[in-house]
């Protein structure tokens, strides 16, 4: 567990295999002004992690921000049966075995709105992701919208592939296949990007890769150059 800033922590989990690469996993937890915990992209739950989380407060909201971040939701719901689960339309369709409280695709007054802003980044038939901005710490939280792998756990060939598809630090961005899928939805996506760039982001944390703590605005401009 690492405290990123006041009332926000990250937990790094074990890697999962995806498309031939070892994908590191990371969840972000925010303690809301209500004192309840908001858990973004839950990682595999262990006794050690559960103990640390319980020391922070009551788990109230579990967030599945896109259709790829759902693997460990059942164990979290089992451990925290009173927690409410929120996800995008695509992950809700994918996990019909789980009960979601609401879809993140519909705008509303969320229980965490006082502390966290959000934007549904869409424009692709393959990818949509809800991204979040913690107002107090000025931390932007994404999952696969940007991947920024260090490459330390990659073989030579894996590192080469990661560099070719644009997900190797310090020049991480959205993977190439997903960027190409925005061919006919760039106008939509640009509107979402403008909202992201309006936020005064000081730290960029993603589910996969090296956290960006310096010159975040410049990093974001570079990462989304393909969209402009």
Mean pLDDT of 65-74: 93
- Judged against a pLDDT cut of 80, whether residue 58 lies above it is answered with yes
For residue 103, what are the β-bridge partners?
87
| pLDDT single digits (tens) 78-112 | 999 999 999 999 999 999 999 999 999 998 999 99
d(CA 133, CA 79): 27
Note whether 36 and 61 are within 8 A (CB): yes
Give 69 or 60, the one with higher predicted confidence: 60
End-to-end CA distance of the chain: 36
> Is residue 218 packed enough to be buried (19+ CB in 10 Å), middle (13-18) or exposed (0-12)?
exposed
Helix, strand, coil shares of the chain, percent, nearest 5, are 25, 30, 40
| pTM of the predicted model as reported, rounded to 2 decimal places | 0.94
What does CATH list as the number for 2-105+121-227?
3.60.15.10
| pLDDT single digits (tens) 116-136 | 999 999 999 988 999 999 999
């Amino acid at each position: 567990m690492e405290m990123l800033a006041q009332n926000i922590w990250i937990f790094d989990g074990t890697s999962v295999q995806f498309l031939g690469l070892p994908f590191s996993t990371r969840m972000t937890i925010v303690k809301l002004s209500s004192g309840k915990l908001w858990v973004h992209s839950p990682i595999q739950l262990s006794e050690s992690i559960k103990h640390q989380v319980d020391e922070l407060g009551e788990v109230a909201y579990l967030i599945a921000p896109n259709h790829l971040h759902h693997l460990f939701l059942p164990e979290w719901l089992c451990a925290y049966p009173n927690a409410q689960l929120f996800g995008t339309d695509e992950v809700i369709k994918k996990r019909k075995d789980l009960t979601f409280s609401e879809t993140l695709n519909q705008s509303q007054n969320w229980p965490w709105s006082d502390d966290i802003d959000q934007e549904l980044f869409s424009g692709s038939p393959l990818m949509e992701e809800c991204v979040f901005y913690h107002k107090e710490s000025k931390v932007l939280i994404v999952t696969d919208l940007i991947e920024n792998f260090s490459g330390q756990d990659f073989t030579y060939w894996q590192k080469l592939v990661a560099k070719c598809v644009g997900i190797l630090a310090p020049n991480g961005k959205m993977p190439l296949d997903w960027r190409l899928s925005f061919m006919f939805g760039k106008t939509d996506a640009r509107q979402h990007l403008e909202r992201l760039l309006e936020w005064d982001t000081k730290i960029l944390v993603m589910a996969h890769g090296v956290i960006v703590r310096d010159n975040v605005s410049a990093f974001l401009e570079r990462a989304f150059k393909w969209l402009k």
